[in-house]
Amino acid sequence: MTDPNATPASTESAPLKQDFIRQIVRDDLASGKHTAIKTRFPPEPNGYLHIGHAKAICLDFGIAAEFGGVCNLRLDDTNPAKEDPEYVRAIQDDVNWLGFEWNDLRHASDYFEVLYLAAEKLIRQGDAFVCDLSPEEVQAYRGSFTEPGRNSPNRDRSVEENLDLFRRMRAGEFSDGAKTLRAKIDMSSPNMNLRDPALYRIKHVEHQNTGNEWPIYPMYDFAHSLSDSVEGITHSLCTLEFEDHRPLYDWCVAKVDLPNSPELTQPLVDTGLPREAAVPRQIEFSRLNFNYLVMSKRKLLALVNDKLVDGWDDPRMPTLQGIRRRGYTPGALRLMVDRVGISKQNSLLDISILEGALREDLDTNAQRRLAVLDPVKVILTNVDPSHEETLTFANHPKDESAGSRNVPFARELWIERDDFAEVPPKGFKRLTVGGEVRLRGAGIIRCDEVVCDINGDISELLCTLDLESRPGMEGSHRKVKGTIHWVSAHHAVPAVVHLYDRLFTVANPDTDEDGKTYRDYLNPNSRRTVTAYVEPAAANAAPETQFQFERTGYFVTDRYDHSPEHPVFNRAVELRDSWQGA
């Protein structure tokens, strides 16, 4: 089993990772531009993290660790209307689960006073002004990709008037949307982000950290760039959609100039934080997108709110909380991130890459257990009804250090229903009337008779055990065509097993073609629940223990619902990709 709290393996013996970001870092260290590396992972706490964030987490924390630096976890909490402490707790849990520890836990809201002072500095420099235009008017003035924008009629207000209005905004004098503080850059810039973007907006909304102290909140681009600067971040790693925002990021950092403006960071120093402001460099990389998924927070929230799934941690969801409950491991996600690599080109990756990484990780680390998901009873008629014995099974066929376990064996067994066929198809190598099959680790049986219920369904198979084929006997080497798994009917424990599959039926549910949306492609068979029988050693496992159920797939004991008295298992992934060619 993979330890969910394990830290990433040492990179000392691992091959040197090569990508354009790591090369930039190496060059910066070699040139003396930086003597130490500092990164940050800066999620907005307005939803749960998803698989795409795993790449950012591994990159932000991984690069810091590889180059002897540190990485902060910072919650960019500048939009309290959409944020919730529930998301904050989940984000911290996800980062720890992936095996990383942050240097400092920070919040953009920690810097609200610094950001406010920075905004006043921009006003005094003539680099920002208070604008009265409504959102609709701002849009109309903004222009288009082919036509320049127009200056706001408020753009030439005096410094004194702008400071007065901004301070009145801060005092809560104006209603939501009545005014904004905008940067004074260039309304004719081909980069729309530089057309006098908003830096502050009025929102009379309580904040989870600062309460009702602030009726104004900084816009994301302003807060994000200066938060990086104030923390002394050297390399600000972002996904490609922020590439067009980089000039604004650099503008904010340069115009405010926190490293040479100690008066702006004094409020932090007064609270005991160090003065560590620096000039960060933003570097963009491609997002992680897989087919058969949607990763838009808005759409994921809609799936939850409309009860199309059972919540953010539904094992069918691509959230880190969801795939963790599904049975994914930190090791599998780190392996996937390494295989995908770092590039500047967005692409839609095949989900088989993700599922393959999980299979590889669990094949190495998951112990084996016996479980029957669709049971039919086998009665060994030549075995005494009172006979019971204990067989010894290796926990892992490729890892002797995993040890062994005891598996009970008796006269009555459960086997998989599809391991028997009265009229076997061509090439069938399992049990049939008059045919023989090997019971895994127990001996060879022959089916002599089929017993059906009043509906004509098979209820029992009467079989004979070859007593000379028991483990350790000469007859155990006798060749038969097939081997099947089983559990002792008397000793096996009933278990709820959720058989999860992909949430969508098509590779790209986000196309919105033919008037359809992602909702139209929800897979009605994405979850099927059965009552199975598992050997006692599976039922007794702790929550979040991964197993390979032999010949069936990889499963995990449910993080919340499982107990030895009431076992609950989730299928993480099948042994092989059943969607190939679909």
3-state secondary structure of 519: helix
461 DSSP β-pair partners: 378, 450
Residue type, 217: Y
d(CA 395, CA 393) in angstroms, rounded, equals: 6
Residue 328 token pair: 């994914």
Q: Phi, psi at residue 56, to the nearest 5°?
A: -65, -40
Residue 534 token pair: 């598992």
538 DSSP β-pair partners: none
d(CA 396, CA 260) in angstroms, rounded, equals: 60
Total count of residues recorded for the chain:
582
Helix spans in 328-440 (H): 330-340, 352-365
From 17, 167, 255, 297, the catalytic residue? 297
Cβ proximity of 545 and 321 under 8 Å: no
User: Is the dihedral angle over the CA atoms 346, 351, 355, 356 positive or is it negative?
Assistant: negative
d(CA 79, CA 45) in angstroms, rounded, equals: 9
From 150, 287, 430, 470, the catalytic residue? 287
CA angle 115, 258, 76 (to 5 degrees): 40
Residue 412 token pair: 């009555």
Provide Rg for the chain, Cα atoms.
Answer: 31
Helix spans in 125-261 (H): 135-142, 159-170, 220-231, 246-256
Q: Is position 231 annotated as part of the catalytic site?
A: no
Q: Is position 137 annotated as part of the catalytic site?
A: no
d(CA 294, CA 233) in angstroms, rounded, equals: 31
d(CA 455, CA 399) in angstroms, rounded, equals: 46
Q: Is position 426 annotated as part of the catalytic site?
A: no
From 44, 231, 284, 550, the catalytic residue? 44
β pairing state of 443-452 and 436-439: antiparallel
Residues designated catalytic: 44, 287, 297
